[in-house]
Amino acid sequence: MSTNSQTILEAAMAAHKSRNFFSQYPESPKAYPEDGMEKGLAAFQALLNTDYNPNNFTDHISMYGAEVSPYLQTGIGVNYPIYDVPTLISRAKSAKISWSEMSVAARADVLIKTLDALKEKFFEIAYATMHTTGQSFMMSFQASGPHANDRALEVISMGYEELTRFSSEVEWTKSMGKFDLVLKKNFKAIPKGISLVIGCSTFPTWNTVPGLYASLITGNPVIVKPHPKAVLPIAIYISEIQRIFIENGIDPFTVQLAADTMDSPVTKVLAENKNVKLIDYTGNSPFGNYIESLNKTCFTEKSGINSVILDSANDINAVAQNLAFSVSLYSGQMCTAPQNIYIAETGIETPSGIVSFDEFVEIFATAVKNLALHPKSGPGTLGAIQNEETIKRVKNAKMNGATLILDSIAIANPEFENARTLSPAVLTTYSESEAVFMNEYFGPIVFVVKTKSFEESLELTANSAAEHGAITCLAYCIHEARANFIEETMNNTFTPVSFNFTGAAFVNQHAAFSDFHVTGGNPAGNASFTSPEFITKRFVWVGNRFMS
Amino acid sequence: MSTNSQTILEAAMAAHKSRNFFSQYPESPKAYPEDGMEKGLAAFQALLNTDYNPNNFTDHISMYGAEVSPYLQTGIGVNYPIYDVPTLISRAKSAKISWSEMSVAARADVLIKTLDALKEKFFEIAYATMHTTGQSFMMSFQASGPHANDRALEVISMGYEELTRFSSEVEWTKSMGKFDLVLKKNFKAIPKGISLVIGCSTFPTWNTVPGLYASLITGNPVIVKPHPKAVLPIAIYISEIQRIFIENGIDPFTVQLAADTMDSPVTKVLAENKNVKLIDYTGNSPFGNYIESLNKTCFTEKSGINSVILDSANDINAVAQNLAFSVSLYSGQMCTAPQNIYIAETGIETPSGIVSFDEFVEIFATAVKNLALHPKSGPGTLGAIQNEETIKRVKNAKMNGATLILDSIAIANPEFENARTLSPAVLTTYSESEAVFMNEYFGPIVFVVKTKSFEESLELTANSAAEHGAITCLAYCIHEARANFIEETMNNTFTPVSFNFTGAAFVNQHAAFSDFHVTGGNPAGNASFTSPEFITKRFVWVGNRFMS
Instruction: Confirm if B228 and B256 have CB atoms less than 8 A apart.
Output: no
Give the pLDDT confidence score for residue A398 in this predicted structure: 84
- Name the residue of chain A whose CA is nearest to B537's CA: A533
CA distance B391 to chain A (A): 33
Q: Is the peptide bond before B530 cis (omega within 30 degrees of 0)?
A: yes
Spans of all domains in chain B = 3-302+528-547, 307-499
d(CA A32, CA B438): 63
With b for 16 or more beta-carbon neighbours within 10 A and e for fewer, the B431-459 pattern comes to bebeebbbebbbbbbbbbbbbeebebbbb
Q: Which contiguous run of DSSP H or E holds residue A170?
A: strand A169-175
Report which of B447, B400, B449, B401 is spatially closest to residue B424, judged by C-alpha positions: B447
Report which of B224, B278, B252 is spatially closest to residue B95, judged by C-alpha positions: B252
Residue B456 above 90 pLDDT? yes
Give the pLDDT confidence score for residue B341 in this predicted structure: 98
List Cβ neighbours of B469 (8 Å cut-off, separation of 6 or more). B285, B302, B303, B304, B305, B522, B523, B524, B525
Instruction: Confirm if A210 and A183 have CB atoms less than 8 A apart.
Output: no
Give the pLDDT confidence score for residue A9 in this predicted structure: 98
* CATH (one of 3.30.870.10, 3.40.50.970, 1.10.540.10, 3.40.605.10) for B3-302+528-547: 3.40.605.10
Cβ distance A19 to B503 less than 8 Å, yes or no, reads no
Residues facing residue A273 across a β-bridge: none
Instruction: Confirm if B513 and A466 have CB atoms less than 8 A apart.
Output: no
Largest separation between any pair of C-alpha atoms in chain A:
88
pLDDT band at B152 (very low <50, low <70, confident <90, very high): very high
d(CA A153, CA A535): 13
Q: Mind listing the pLDDT tens digit for each residue in A286-323?
A: 999 999 999 999 999 999 999 999 999 999 999 999 99
Report which of B229, B323, B243 is spatially closest to residue B53, judged by C-alpha positions: B243
Give the pLDDT confidence score for residue A399 in this predicted structure: 86
CA distance B80 to chain A (A): 34
Helix axes B232-247 and B104-118, enclosed angle (nearest 10): 130
Residue B279 above 90 pLDDT? yes
Residue B396 above 90 pLDDT? no
Q: Calculate what percentage of chain B has a pLDDT beyond 90.
A: 97
Residue B399 above 90 pLDDT? no
Residue B464: helix, strand or coil by DSSP?
A: helix
CATH superfamily name and code, A307-499: Aldehyde Dehydrogenase; Chain A, domain 2 (3.40.309.10)
Cβ distance A515 to B165 less than 8 Å, yes or no, reads no
Give the pLDDT confidence score for residue B262 in this predicted structure: 86
Please give the full DSSP string across B492-503, using - where no structure is assigned: TTT---EES--T
Residues facing residue A158 across a β-bridge: none
Residues of chain A with pLDDT under 50: none
Give the pLDDT confidence score for residue A52 in this predicted structure: 98
- Name the residue of chain A whose CA is nearest to B96's CA: A492
d(CA B490, CA B473): 8
pLDDT band at B523 (very low <50, low <70, confident <90, very high): very high
Spatial strand order of the sheet with B425-430 comes to A169-175, A180-191, A539-547, B498-499, B473-476, B307-310, B340-344, B445-451, B425-430, B403-406
d(CA A49, CA B318): 73
CA distance B479 to chain A (A): 13
d(CA B177, CA A207): 27
Residue B383 above 90 pLDDT? yes
d(CA A48, CA A37): 17
d(CA B322, CA B503): 6
Instruction: Confirm if B59 and B241 have CB atoms less than 8 A apart.
Output: no
Residue B121 above 90 pLDDT? yes
d(CA A259, CA A267): 10
Strands A425-430 and A445-451: parallel
Residue B479 above 90 pLDDT? yes
Cβ distance A542 to B521 less than 8 Å, yes or no, reads yes
Give the pLDDT confidence score for residue B238 in this predicted structure: 98
CATH superfamily name and code, A3-303+528-547: Aldehyde Dehydrogenase; Chain A, domain 1 (3.40.605.10)
Instruction: Confirm if A132 and A76 have CB atoms less than 8 A apart.
Output: yes
Confidence check on the interface: ipTM exceeds 0.95, yes or no: yes
Interface probe for A, chosen from B180, B546, B548 (most Cβ of A below 10 Å), is B546
Arithmetic mean of pLDDT over chain B: 97
Cβ distance B185 to A514 less than 8 Å, yes or no, reads yes
pLDDT band at B400 (very low <50, low <70, confident <90, very high): confident
- % helix / strand / coil in chain B, to the nearest 5? 40, 20, 40
Could you check whether A3-303+528-547 and A307-499 share the same CATH topology? no
Cβ distance A17 to B166 less than 8 Å, yes or no, reads yes
Nearest residue, CB atoms, A545 vs list B171, B498, B542: B498
> Quick one: average pLDDT of B84-91?
98
Q: How many CB pairs under 8 A join A and B?
A: 183
Give the pLDDT confidence score for residue A171 in this predicted structure: 98
Query: Where are the alpha helices (H) located in A120-147, listed in sequence order?
Result: 122-133, 137-142
